[in-house]
Chains A and B, each alone.
Chain A
Amino acid sequence: MATNKIALRTENLEGRTIVHIGGEFDLEAAGDVRAALEPLIERTEAGLTLNLRELKYIDSTGIGILIGVVKARHSRSAAFDVEEVPPHIRKLFDMTGISPFLAKSEPKSSPVGIKGEE
C-alpha cells in the first residue's frame, strides 16, 4: 500500500547531500527511507545530512535506521550529520544516546572541549 505519510526530499548543496525527512518515520516508512538513503550512503565524496525540521514522529525503527547510517558512513570515513531536530524528537535521541553520533563530525577529529582551557 503506497503511502505519503513520510515525505522525502533530496537536495545537493555545496558538496553535501541534504535529505529532508518529514512526516512519520515509523515501521511503515522504514523501507522507503532505507531505499532513499542506501545509494547516498555510498556517495562518500559528498557529505550526507538529514534535515528533520518537518519530522513529526520517530520510534526505535527510525532510530535503528539512523544507527545503521551512522555506522555505514563511519566505516567509509564519510561525513554524516543530522540537523534541525524538533525538541520532542531530540528528547528520544538523547534518551537512547544516539545524539552524539548525529552531530557534525569534523574531518580532523580533535576532541572538542567546551572550555578552551582550564
Chain B
Amino acid sequence: MNKDRIVTLTVPAEPEYIDLVRLTLYGIASKLKFTFEDIEDMKVAVSEACNNAVLHAYGGENGSIEVRFASDAEELSITVKDFGRSFSVERRSESPALHGKSVDEIQSGGLGLYLMQALMDRVEVEHEGGTAVTMTKKRQTTEESA
C-alpha cells in the first residue's frame, strides 16, 4: 500500500515514553479527523504494541522504539518497531479474553494482543531484526451526512 503521508517518532524503550507515542498519535489522528472513539481505540492498540517492545525486546538493556504513522485517504497505519531480540507474540488455542471464565481461570496473559486485534481493522506482525507490529484503522466518513 502506498501511503504518502508519513511521520516517524523514535523514543527510548521505557515506560515513561509511551504516553509520548499516545500524544503523537492523538495529534495525527485528530488532524485526519478520526472520531473520538477511533482515536481511543488506536491509543490503546498502539500502547499495547509499545508495552510489548518495552517489556520483551531488550531484556533489560537500553533500546529504542520506532513508531511510524503512515496515512492515505482511506486509512492510518501505525508501525511499532523495535530492534531487539524478537519475541514471539503468544498464540494459544484458548482465547485470552475472560468471557465465560471463572475467577480461578482468569489471567492477564495475551490480553494486549487480543485488544490490538479487537480495536484495529488489521494487525500484522513481522520479525526481522526485531519485531514490527503494523496496525491499521480505516477512516470513517462521518461528516456531512446530515
A residues whose Cβ falls under 8 Å from a Cβ of B: 1, 3, 5, 24, 26-28, 30, 57, 59-61, 63-64, 67-68, 70-71, 74, 88, 92, 95-98, 101
**Which residue from A57, A74, A95 sits with its C-beta under 8 Å from B103?**
A74
**Which residue from A26, A28, A98 sits with its C-beta under 8 Å from B98?**
A98
Query: Majority SS of interface residues in chain A?
Result: helix
Neighbouring A residues of B104 by C-beta, 8 Å: 71
Evaluate contact between A96 and B51: CB separation under 8 angstroms: no
Please report the C-alpha to C-alpha distance between residue A70 and residue B102 in the assembled complex, in whole angstroms. 11
Interface size class of B (residues with CB under 8 A): 20 to 34
| Given A26-B18, A27-B51, A95-B118, 12 other A-B residues pairs in contact with their CB atoms under 8 A | A3-B16, A24-B19, A27-B15, A27-B54, A59-B47, A60-B108, A61-B51, A64-B108, A68-B108, A88-B37, A96-B115, A97-B99
Given A5-B19, A26-B18, A28-B18, answer yes or no on A60-B111 (Cβ-Cβ < 8 Å): yes
Evaluate contact between B108 and A26: CB separation under 8 angstroms: no
